[in-house]
Structure 1
């Protein structure tokens, strides 16, 4: 007896037609077990550049962040304390230029509401983690305070009072952008991506400030865009003058795990190099304040 599948296809016209006129669809075939492609081993770099790192932990960033939050919480818990802080600390251009210049600094530690301190605090933390270890605490704090002071001064010149750490944060943003731009070859795609992110954040911040000020009703809350701009300009000038200038001198590399490690150096790490620039910056702010006092007194 023959097996049914041994029959002549001609005895089964439908089956024969199916076999010859309509070939079997590939998906009808039994699935073939495929082996997973082996994971490609991560290629070991041939060389690395070791940057000069001033500090391992950004403690100054944490202190500044904690100080801003603590002052805000005090004002939040006590209406009387909040009134005192605002009365004595907010940058009011007429008072600032007529005997109360400390408002230029105290206003940098006051915030209007939760969202205000949240965004400034987040930006400070985001920027401080990168800049403080690379710049060192001294240069980081100089850019933060003097850049923020530049924001307060420009705001005063434009008769724009206000409060908040935004001017100082914009100074750090300028510091980050200028540093990464100077050292594009070291940071590659990561540096370019971070620059794009920071420029987007800054652009959105400026756009939001313009929108709020243009749509605000009389007596409503305004955003200090000139303080932001002043901080940005001040931070760029300061970073250009005192920021790290990374250089890789000729050297015999250290071999670590078959990787050549080159040590970079900072050619602008001396205080004597910074001092003339800092003095010039301070004189510039003083001149602007004198001009602001004359304009506001008119």
Structure 2
């Protein structure tokens, strides 16, 4: 079993007030007056003043993040009950990433490990990371894209783990690293909106990734580096096309940050990532079978 560790995400306050837009506000024209000499003066207007306007993006309530957390916790409770009643963790037996079982056709094991954890610290760290990252990403990506992102990241992480690691593996870290990759791409795509904060936020994400990968290569570490890497790649590649592309627009007389990403781009991104990791899985299974 490999326990997967995840660090905190950038401060969620970074998502608030994403854009600063300078808009000219003209003072009303001064009414013309007729001087004593009878020659009217030309209307004059005051020079435009610049005002900073803070604009926040349109968001949704992150209900799916909470539902996934609840489902994962229920699975963990089931693991404890199974171990107590049957002296065996049957949930781990049937849902963990076990390479021989995947080769024999139990392909659900390429997704279900995100619901299984190796201990209270393992699930505690992952659920805290999901609480921080999931709310931020889902609120901006929307429910549909968030589900696709979470599942693709879990699939990509477990496929790469299957291809390059024989160890039994469990944990939501594959999907969580996908959220980190998606968050980084989102910030990069909208760096003009974030302004100077974009570089700081990307630096923090880079440090989180560097620390996790450094821990994973320490001798004796049980962290599944391939699972983390696969989830990160799946989430990042999906988000290159599918992450929201924010642009300043006007709606009902006010400025908003509107998402200009087309639904066809989201669909194509999903198919592209699914196909890419599907090809890796195909050849990994052939290799495992000695074909």
Give me the TM-score of the superposition, normalised by structure 1.
0.74
- Unmatched runs of 5 consecutive residues or more in structure 2: 1-49
Aligned to 2:184: 177
Given the superposition, is the C-alpha separation of residues 190 and 66 from structure 1 closer, same or farther in structure 2, using an over 3 Å criterion? farther
Alpha-carbon separation, structure 1, partners of 2:283 and 2:181: 25
Given the superposition, is the C-alpha separation of residues 182 and 215 from structure 1 closer, same or farther in structure 2, using an over 3 Å criterion? same
Aligned to 1:93: 99
SS across alignment from 2:255: strand
**Which structure carries more helix by proportion?**
1
1:262 matches 2:261: no
1:286 matches 2:278: yes
Alignment counterpart, residue 135 of structure 1, candidates 132, 141, 151: 141
Query: Which whole-Å deviations, capped at 9, do the CAs of 1:232-255 have from their partners, x for residues lacking one?
Result: 000001111211111224x5994x
State the shift of 1:292 in Å.
Answer: 0.6
State the shift of 1:195 in Å.
Answer: 2.8
State the shift of 1:151 in Å.
Answer: 0.3
Alpha-carbon separation, structure 2, partners of 1:68 and 1:252: 39
1:47 matches 2:39: no
State the shift of 1:63 in Å.
Answer: 0.7
Describe how 1:1-298 pairs up with structure 2 within 5 A.
46-53=52-59, 55=60, 57-79=61-83, 80=86, 83-160=89-166, 161-211=168-218, 214-215=219-220, 222-249=222-249, 251=250, 254=253, 261-268=254-261, 270-298=262-290
Given the superposition, is the C-alpha separation of residues 253 and 82 from structure 1 closer, same or farther in structure 2, using an over 3 Å criterion? same
Given the superposition, is the C-alpha separation of residues 85 and 190 from structure 1 closer, same or farther in structure 2, using an over 3 Å criterion? same
Given the superposition, is the C-alpha separation of residues 128 and 296 from structure 1 closer, same or farther in structure 2, using an over 3 Å criterion? same
Alpha-carbon separation, structure 2, partners of 1:252 and 1:73: 47
- Alignment RMSD (CA, Å): 2.2
Alpha-carbon separation, structure 2, partners of 1:81 and 1:181: 49
Aligned to 2:11: none
Alpha-carbon separation, structure 2, partners of 1:86 and 1:103: 10
Query: Which whole-Å deviations, capped at 9, do the CAs of 1:176-197 have from their partners, x for residues lacking one?
Result: 1111122223223444433333
Alpha-carbon separation, structure 2, partners of 1:295 and 1:204: 32
| Structure exhibiting the larger radius of gyration computed from Cα positions | 1
Alpha-carbon separation, structure 2, partners of 1:196 and 1:183: 15
State the shift of 1:93 in Å.
Answer: 1.5
Query: Which whole-Å deviations, capped at 9, do the CAs of 1:39-74 have from their partners, x for residues lacking one?
Result: xxxxx9621224232x1x211111111111111122
